Structure 1
Amino acid sequence: MKITAILRGKSINTIYSVAPQATVYEALELMAEKNIGAVLVIENGRLAGIFSERDYARKVVLQSRASRDTTVREVMTANLITIAPDQRIEDAMRLMSEKHIRHLPVLDEGQLVGIISINDVVSAIIRDQKARIDSLESYITGSY
């Protein structure tokens, strides 16, 4: 299964983002409103980074910074790991596991087309396995 299948299967494939000059507080407000764990940081129409709950905990709270006075640029993760839509879901699982990340921006020839989370990947794998099990059960019982 490919990453495109995850993007197609998402009920909402909206990309939520903030500008690098937004405050951490503004980013957190958006994340709370949309019930998401990370937002992409877009500058001049290009992906500049990602800001996640982990960034907030480690780079704001633990460093005693103020959310209203700290810009996203100061604490975002800029060295992004991305994936292409034609890559396999197994590639996403491997990347997320090896790099200890929960979100992967999806770039198609350098253009941002979406973002997937570990939850999206696990859900897609479960759906795929269920479909295979159902197919095998139908084959075994002769009801296909």
Structure 2
Amino acid sequence: MLVSEILAIKGKVLFTIGPNRPIAEAVEIMNEQDVGSLVVFSRGEMVGMLTFRQVLQAVQRGGADWQSLQVEGVMLREPRIASPDMEMDELRRLMVEHHQRYLPVMDGNTLLGVVSFHDVAKAVLEEQSFENRMLKNYIRNWPAGEGEE
């Protein structure tokens, strides 16, 4: 399965924030939209990613003043990138090796979406379910007497 197929299953809804916005606003968006990451955009291009992991690190470092920190000071500046033609196994390996649960999917300079570890797991389950249905259908329609000796 390709990353483009995972995006098709997931949909291309994208949640973003500007680098000069406060972390508190990012937390509010992430909570309201039930997402674990935001793409950080400035002047029409991606400049980083903010995930709940970076937010937790900011809370730990910032103490009582964490809410006033800006996204720019906390975001992941150079996240690993997936391409739409990347195989799912390669995507999983990249996520695991770099401890990155959310990967932006880029086609050249165009951001197509973000794929999460959850999206990958869901795609695997759907793929297995489809294969199981196909195998059951194949077995159900097996011609009588074939394969018997």
Q: What's the TM-score once normalised by structure 2's chain length?
A: 0.90
Name the counterpart of 1:63: 61
- Deviation track 1:32-85 (CA, whole Å, cap 9, x = no partner) reads 110111101001111100111100111x12113423321000010002101011
- Deviation track 1:104-132 (CA, whole Å, cap 9, x = no partner) reads 10000121010111010110011111111
Structure 1: gaps spanning 5 or more residues:
none
CA-atom RMSD, angstroms? 1.5
C-alpha separation between the residues in 2 aligned to 1:19 and 1:29?
14
C-alpha separation between the residues in 1 aligned to 2:111 and 2:130?
30
Name the counterpart of 2:3: 3
CA contact (8 A) 1:55 1:77 kept: yes
Give, as a single letter, the amino acid of the residue that structure 1 aligns with 2:62.
S
C-alpha separation between the residues in 2 aligned to 1:4 and 1:84?
8
Deviation at 1:102, TM superposition (A): 0.8
SS at 1:51 equivalent? strand
Q: How does 1:1-144 map to 2 (within 5 A)?
A: 1-10=1-10, 12-58=11-57, 60-65=58-63, 66-142=65-141
Larger Rg: 2
Equivalent pairs, count? 142
Q: Percent identity?
A: 29
Structure 2: gaps spanning 5 or more residues:
143-149
Q: What's the TM-score once normalised by structure 1's chain length?
A: 0.93
- Deviation track 1:79-109 (CA, whole Å, cap 9, x = no partner) reads 2101011111111111111111110100001
